[in-house]
Amino acid sequence: MRNLEYLLASGKVLSIGISDTPAYITSRCNTLAELRGWNQFAAYQVEYCLTERTADREIIPLCEHDDMLFCGFGPLAAGLLTGKYLEDNSEPKRMTKGVSARLSERNLAMSAEINVLSKEIGHTPSQIAIRWAMQMVKKSSPIFGARSLKQCEENLKVLDFSLSKDQMNKLNSISKIGPNNPNDFLKLPRLEEILFAGQKGKINK
């Protein structure tokens, strides 16, 4: 963190970010920087998509607490969420069924559900997957890759619409991951009553 501060102080970089690092290490780095009067990390990058939501457990809460921009890469799950793996077609593919663990029954079923939603709301599966990632984290900037100008233009159309609460709830339901302890435990009504003595609604952040 000291060396990164030298780079900032010398004007060689404008801000610093971190990628694919456990939340406890990132938190420790930010705390050390805060104590020393140095710059903390401004952004955190890690894979995040409907089929890979483990960042929900510790990384995203850390980003929100430390006011870091969350940069989730791979919002289309290496192309899985575009729907092109649901049937035989001529589209370029880099994964093979029976070989890639990403092409699990659960993930393919999720892709099929997104395909259905796509037909209902008139937006492509790719747009839905990216838009979901944008709306899941208040301060976020999903990182997507595009093989062609057409794909890039299609993906950028996510800026033109929002998913409704019901649509987000449906996507969250089909992509739900296991318990996020102790965070889920601490959100139980009886625990909040104990921790905040029934005054949580009166506390300003």
CATH number at residue 83: 3.20.20.100
Statement: residue 34 has pLDDT above 80: yes
In the predicted model, is pLDDT for residue 183 greater than 90?
A: no
3-state SS, residue 43: strand
Rounded Cα gap, residues 56 and 2, in angstroms: 29
Buried residues in 72-87 as b, exposed as e (16+ CB within 10 A)? bbbbbbbbbbbbbbee
% of the chain at pLDDT higher than 90: 75
In this prediction, residue 99 carries a pLDDT of 82
Kindly state whether residue 120 falls inside one of the protein's structural domains.
Answer: yes
Q: Is residue 16 part of a domain?
A: no
pTM of the model: 0.86
Residue 44 host element (H or E): strand 43-47
Mean pLDDT to the nearest integer, 152-169: 95
Residue 154 lies in a domain: yes
Q: What is the mean pLDDT of residues 172-197?
A: 87
Q: How far is CA 55 from CA 21, 22, 77, 153, 189, in A?
A: 11, 10, 14, 28, 24
In a domain, 170, yes or no: yes
Please say whether the dihedral angle defined by the alpha carbons of residues 146, 150, 156 and 160, taken in this order, is positive or negative. negative
Whether 21 is in a domain gets the answer: no
Is a pLDDT exceeding 70 seen at residue 4?
yes
User: 25 lies in a domain?
Assistant: no
Residue 34 lies in a domain: no
In the chain, the number of structural domains is: 1
Distance CA 127, CA 150 (A): 13
Name the pLDDT band for 141 (thresholds 50, 70, 90): very high
State yes or no: pLDDT of 134 exceeds 80.
yes
Q: Would you say residue 91 has pLDDT above 90? A: no
Residue that wins the pLDDT comparison between 98 and 101: 101
Query: Could you give the dihedral angle defined by the CA atoms of residues 53, 59, 64 and 67, in that order, rounded to the nearest 10 degrees?
Result: -130
**Structure tokens belonging to residue 59:** 């990384």
pLDDT at 205: 62
Tell me which residue range forms the domain holding 111. Answer: 42-202
Amino acid occupying residue 58? E
Q: 8 in a domain, yes or no? A: no
